[in-house]
């Protein structure tokens, strides 16, 4: 009877782990799609690669091939995400630089007057 209870506890742990994994994947897909939809102007190689990886991961996920996802795609996804974040910040910095420079008067800059006293 104790052995049976231990086996059931082990099965319950496994089921809970699978529920947590599926929750995390659903969360990843939802947040990634939101990010993709809000940032269609990125259109870089990293952005396109990230989208393709998500499609591949979704396809594996639909057929419950979690092992394949962990072996083939997780490292690629981490790398792709890191590059994508860098591209995103570059894009945002460029927007800020363009907006700041367009507000300045043409031909006028900061003048520092240095005098000998």
Task: Say if 34 falls within a structural domain.
Answer: yes
Q: Does residue 110 surpass a pLDDT of 90?
A: no
| pLDDT of residue 44 exceeding 90 | no
Q: Is 52 inside any structural domain? A: yes
Range of the domain at 39: 2-92
For 2-26, the pLDDT digits (tens) are 888 877 888 888 889 888 888 988 9
| HEC profile of 12-54 | HHHHHHHHHHHHHHHHHHHHHHHHHHHCCCCCCHHHHHHHHHH
In a domain, 97, yes or no: no
Per the domain annotation, does 39 fall within a domain? yes
Instruction: Name the burial class of residue 111, with classes exposed (0-12), middle (13-18) and buried (19+) by CB atoms within 10 angstroms of its CB.
Output: exposed
Domain-located, residue 30: yes
Residue 73 within a domain: yes
For residue 66, being part of any structural domain is answered with: yes
Flag whether 112 is in a domain: no
| CA 52 vs CA 14, 15, 57, 69, 87: distances in Å | 30, 30, 9, 14, 17
Whole-prediction pTM: 0.64
- Distance, CA of 48 to CA of 28 (rounded, Å): 17
Cα gap 85→45, rounded to integer Å: 13
Instruction: Summarize the confidence of residues 70-99 as an average pLDDT.
Output: 85
pLDDT at 41: 76
Structural domain count, the chain: 1
């Amino acid at each position: 009877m104790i052995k049976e209870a231990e086996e059931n506890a082990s099965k319950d742990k496994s089921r809970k782990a699978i529920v947590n994994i599926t929750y995390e994947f659903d969360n990843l897909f939802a947040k990634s799609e939101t990010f993709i939809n809000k940032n269609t102007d990125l259109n870089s190689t990293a952005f396109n690669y990230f989208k393709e990886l998500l499609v591949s991961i979704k396809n594996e996920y639909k057929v419950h091939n979690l092992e394949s996802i962990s072996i083939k795609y997780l490292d690629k996804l981490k790398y792709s995400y890191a590059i994508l974040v860098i591209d995103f910040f570059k894009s945002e910095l460029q927007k800020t630089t363009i907006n700041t420079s367009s507000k300045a008067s043409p031909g006028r800059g900061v003048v520092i007057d240095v005098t000998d006293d």
